[in-house]
Each structure stands twice: as C-alpha cells, then as structure tokens.
Structure 1
Amino acid sequence: MGLKVDDSDVDPKPAGELALQTLAMPKDTNANGDIFGGWLVSQMDLAAGIATKKVTRGRSATVAIKNVAFLAPVSVGSIISCYAEIVEIGRSSMHINIEVWIANSLTQHGQRKVAEGLFVFVAIDDLGRTRRIDVNGRREGPA
C-alpha cells in the first residue's frame, strides 16, 4: 500500500474490488463543510468487513486500523466508492487494503482516490472467540 499520490499515472485505477458505494450527505460534514474523516473511516471499515465475509464465511471483527491517509477533501454529494483488496490471510486474521475513490454525483466522471488504509480483521465464532480461517472454504472452530 503506497501512501503517496503518483501523478505519473494518467489514468489511475482503484486496487481491489468494489465493496461498498454510498453518497456523501450534508449530515456527514465537519465544521469546515467537508465530509468528516471519521465517517469516511466508518465506510472503509464496513467495506473491509464485507470483503472478509467472502473468506471467513462467518463473523469477523476489526482489531486494528493502520496507516489511514486522507489524500483530499470530500464534498457533499460525492459518490463514495470503497475498494477492498485482501493482502494477507493468516491463521485467524486478515489484512485488507481499502481505497476510497469519489466521483461527482451528477456527472459520475473524474473519479479520484481520496483516502486509503489498512484494516486488520480477525475471524470469530458465534461466542466472539477467535477462530481459524480455512481458505479451502470450510468454517472452522476456535483457533
């Protein structure tokens, strides 16, 4: 995960798969009128959680959020697209890179990356205990 903007790529593309898409609303603004960073992180966390479902086939929980970078302000009315890329799967945990891209809600053109971060999730059982992730598709018990 690179935390820099690279102007050399004339047509940048999101990394990963689209996991969540929503609209930035006036209620989500900070005192400056831009979208509140905490709201954006919550959308990123939701996207990471959705991405883990395909692998864990059950419950999972956020255990860490690392290296979140806000690259540009987000305006009300922007279409927020969160892309998820699973970059590591351990015995019971997963690292998911999330990129947030925006597009103007009227034109849906000019998509650009505005935030990124690394989310760490752990698979849990029905009692909230850590459980093993089976990459072969079976849900397993405690780790």
Structure 2
Amino acid sequence: MATQLPEGEQPMLRIIPMPADTNANGTIFGGWVMSHVDLAGSVPAVKRAAGPVVTVAVNSFTFREPVFVGDLVSFYARVCKTGRTSITIDVEVFAQRGRGAGTEVVQVTEAQLTYVAIDENRKPRPLPGAGEINA
C-alpha cells in the first residue's frame, strides 16, 4: 500500500531500525514499534499538558505492514481530543523503503493512545484550558 508522508506535518520521531530490533521472522519486532509509538505520542501530549504525562491506555493499535531493517521510520502524532486531565493522541507510522529515486512510502502502523497529565505527586492534574477539543 504505497502512500506519501503527511503533507505539512513534521514527524515527532524518525529512526532507522537495526538488526538487533528484529523478531524471529526477520522483520522489526512489534514491541519496538509500540514503544516508539508511545514515545512519539508523548511529545504532543507533554506539550498540550505543559508538563509531565503518563500513558494510561492504548485505545487502538493496528499493524498494517511489516517494518524492515534499514527502513526510515517516521512517527507522526497529533492531539485528537482532550478532557479535564486526559489527552488522546493519534499516531501514524510510515516506512520509507529504498533510497533515492526508488523510495517507496508505506503506512505501517496506526494507533491511538491516551495520556493523563500528572503533578509532582504523580496524581492527575487538570490540563491548561481543560475540556477544549483539538486544543
């Protein structure tokens, strides 16, 4: 499923997986992708919360295509909803395969995660402007 990178958006994270990141089938281990999705999702969550957040839920996670050693993997994340203390983030992951003129872009994963803003005692705290949608 060839596609293109989201136009006008900057990735929250870009990384090239290495052989140590593979599973028994020789593709990149799903847990590796999941951990990077969580990191990428935390970037806009921390910004929206204006402080620390914790992951409280993985609402959905779909692996569409495998990731291979040497792919340039880009993680795009955006706020899709906020509550009083929570921030829901959509994450899309794309792999760029090949280099130069033969580069193919494939969406490999999409996920939605929920984070909660926390205070210095690790207790939920209200977001600045809490309750605004798409803030």
- What is the CA distance between 1:135 and its match in structure 2? 3.1
- Runs (4 or more) in structure 1 with deviation over 2 Å come to 10-17, 104-109
Secondary structure at the aligned position of 2:41 is classed as helix
Letter of the aligned partner of 1:63 in structure 2? Answer: V
Give distance in 2, aligned partners of 1:80 and 1:135.
33
Q: Does structure 1 retain, via aligned residues, the 8 Å contact 2:118–2:125?
A: yes
Q: CA RMSD in A?
A: 2.1
Percent of pairs with identical residues: 35
Deviations 1:2-39 (A, max 9, x none): xxxxx7xx854438641111111111100000000011
CA drift of 1:127 comes to: 1.3
Q: Which residue of 1 aligns with 2:25?
A: 32
- What is the correspondence of 1:16-31 to structure 2 with a 5 Å cutoff? 17-31=10-24
TM-score (norm 1): 0.82
User: Tell me, what secondary structure is at the counterpart of 2:69?
Assistant: coil
Structure 2: stretches of 5+ with no match in the other structure: 131-135
CA distance in 2, matches of 1:13, 1:27: 26
Match of 1:124 in 2: 118
In structure 1, list runs of 5 or more residues that go unmatched.
1-6, 137-143
Higher normalized contact order (CA 8 Å, seq sep 6+, divided by chain length)? 2
| Count of aligned positions | 128
Give the TM-score taking structure 2 as reference length.
0.86
Q: How far apart, in 1, do the equivalents of 2:10 and 2:120 lie? A: 27
